[in-house]
Amino acid sequence: MAPDAGTKGFPFAEIGTLHRAAVVCHRNADADSYLSAFAIARLIESLAPECEVIIGTPGGMTTLTQKLSARFKHAAAAKGDGDFDLYVAVDVGDEELLGDWKGKMASSAGVRVLVDHHPARATRLYDRAVVDEAATSAAEVAFGIYEGAGARPDAESAQALLEALLFDSSHLAIASPSGLRVAVKLMDMGADLALARKELRSEPDYGEVLAKLKGAQRLSINKAGDWVVASSRIGSFQAHVARALVYLGADLAVVGGESDGETRVSLRSTQRFLDRTGVNLGTQVAEEMAFRLGGHGGGHPTAASFSTKEEEDKTVEATMRRVGELLGDVKKLD
């Protein structure tokens, strides 16, 4: 990783020589990545009016980002043609998430800059890095670049940065003190908080809505020790249903279903459940069940899944038995 020399001198290239610049998001760009890239693209355009700037979106964008990109319009390309004099990778984390752009950047003679809030990794891909691991969003880092340049985001860029910050901070619930300060500064510059909340709302997906309601209808309520364990069966959106059951109040949710000759089980628990029981759903349930039944699985301590060729009933029952081994006898309440 190139040393972080602060934001002074951004974009670290001879402004007069810039003809083509690409601000590149991570694969399947989320709102923080795209909107931060949007504001940085605007900044480069104001610093170098002769330079053509595009936003690179390897592998496209999420559904929400597509909607936001129609509101915050900028020339964008999944794969940029030819080489660029300047590359700015935004919110990328792992450089593999640059997709096709990684190879293009690696072989370029152009200046390569990273703007990020993910932990810095060992890499030689970038010439300069502006990374703040304490930032909740890439938008805060992008705002810091504006401040370092003594520039003020235009109204649209300020709005974009506020929406990016809200997106990555669970609507400010997990924002750091410095993130909150940036949010206030953006509002002082004209960004509208109510509008930001509204524009970040995504349309409900009909299939997901039906799956969640059917999942609730087929609910089985169990108790294991002091813990409420909800289980259900659904052929799709298992993860969404499991999350919804935890949201309803279950400490642990086990949701399984068969489709295309495979049974998929999603597991979700609360942080409180993890803290008190120490049960890691990724290693102790998903990986273990994949091992026992044959299949593959894993995940995080409070969110995991596995799939197997075994049939649905047997799979869910075996998973509940595993829960019993870890928590004590499972008693059905309904």
Stretch that binds Mn ion, among 40-48, 160-168, 174-182, 276-284 (CB under 5 A): 160-168
Q: How far is the CB of 166 from Mn ion (least distance, A)?
A: 12
C-alpha 243: how far from its chain's center?
Answer: 16
Q: How far is the CB of 213 from Mn ion (least distance, A)?
A: 32
Residue 267 binds to Mn ion (criterion: CB under 5 A): no
Of 32 and 163, nearer to Mn ion (C-beta) is: 32
- DSSP H helices, the chain, are 31-47, 63-71, 100-106, 138-148, 155-168, 177-188, 193-200, 206-217, 238-248, 271-277, 288-293, 312-327
Stretch that binds Mn ion, among 4-12, 76-84, 161-169, 290-298 (CB under 5 A): 161-169
Position of minimal CB gap to Mn ion: 32
Residue 32 binds to Mn ion (criterion: CB under 5 A): yes
Of 142 and 229, nearer to Mn ion (C-beta) is: 142
Residues 168, 199, 287, 312: which binds Mn ion (CB under 5 A)? 168
CB atoms under 10 Å from CB of 231, counted, come to: 27
Integer Cα distance of 120 and 127 in angstroms: 14
User: Is residue 58 packed enough to be buried (19+ CB in 10 Å), middle (13-18) or exposed (0-12)?
Assistant: buried
Integer Cα distance of 163 and 181 in angstroms: 14
77-136 residues in contact with Mn ion (CB under 5 A) are: 91
Of 135 and 242, nearer to Mn ion (C-beta) is: 135
Residue 163 binds to Mn ion (criterion: CB under 5 A): no
Of 138 and 234, nearer to Mn ion (C-beta) is: 138
Integer Cα distance of 140 and 207 in angstroms: 35
Picking from 43, 66, 223, 258, the residue whose alpha carbon sits closest to that of residue 141 is: 43
CB atoms under 10 Å from CB of 5, counted, come to: 11
Of 32 and 258, nearer to Mn ion (C-beta) is: 32
Q: How far is the CB of 170 from Mn ion (least distance, A)?
A: 12
Counting residues that bind Mn ion (by CB under 5 A) gives 4
Stretch that binds Mn ion, among 43-51, 168-176, 269-277, 288-296 (CB under 5 A): 168-176
For residue 203, what is the DSSP state?
P
* DSSP calls for 97-111: GGTHHHHHHHT--SE
Residues 54, 111, 138, 162: which binds Mn ion (CB under 5 A)? 138
The structure tokens listed for 164 are: 């990016």
Of 165 and 281, nearer to Mn ion (C-beta) is: 165
Of 96 and 226, nearer to Mn ion (C-beta) is: 96
End-to-end CA distance of the chain: 56
- Chain positions contacting Mn ion, by CB under 5 A: 32, 91, 138, 168
